[in-house]
Amino acid sequence: MSDSLDLEDRAIEAVWCYREALAAAANSENAQALAHRALMSILPDLERAIDLHHSRKSYLMPMQER
């Protein structure tokens, strides 16, 4: 009887560990998705900033360096 209770306790513990692992994986996927969305949302601003930087740099260069 004691062996079956011990086995049941270990099975319950294994299920809890499995559920915690699934939750951690889901949280990780959510965090990655949020980071990806944030990066995608700032890319247009970064592109404009780079284009502006290059256009100002070109404007400030002497004619023979252009």
| Pairwise pLDDT comparison (11 vs 66), residue with the higher score | 11
Rg (CA), the chain: 28
Q: How many CA atoms lie less than 13 Å away from 15 in the CB half-sphere? A: 6
pTM exceeds 0.95: no
- Per-residue model confidence (pLDDT) at position 8: 94
CB 58 within 8 A of CB 66: yes
- Per-residue model confidence (pLDDT) at position 17: 97
Report domain extents, the chain. 2-65
Per residue in 14-64, pLDDT (tens digit) is: 999 999 999 999 999 999 999 999 999 999 999 999 988 888 766 666 656
